[in-house]
Amino acid sequence: MEKVIRDGKVAVVYSLGFGAGWSTWDHNGMGKNLLFDPMIVNCVESGDFDKLITYMTLWYPDVYTGGMGDLKIEWLPEGTLFRIYEYDGSESIEVKEEIDWVTA
């Protein structure tokens, strides 16, 4: 899986808006691709959502793109363990080292 890496940080795409998750709605195993896809990163950075719509239609035709208007990029250091937490479509990034785990 190709990723955009700059200055030792990886671009991670996620959706802040409520109603539709971006990568958390897995889309037949394509969820992780949606997190890192370089073309998606490029379109979000440039704000070219018309290009993104065309790209998604061609390469991810079965993916629901309802959360596309609220996409954001987070830059995480390479090797960071993280997960996308979703509540009612709104996604956030949880970094393993920042979670206060409790042991039973």
CA pair distance 68, 78, nearest whole angstrom: 25
- Taking only the tens place, the pLDDT of each residue in 14-38 is 998 887 788 887 667 778 899 999 9
Q: What is the pLDDT of residues 51-64, one digit of tens each?
A: 999 999 999 998 88
91 with 18: CB under 8 angstroms? no
pTM, entire model: 0.88
Quote the CA–CA distance of 43 and 76 in Å, as a whole number: 19
Say which residues have a Cβ less than 8 Å from residue 65's Cβ, sequence separation at least 6: 20, 53, 56
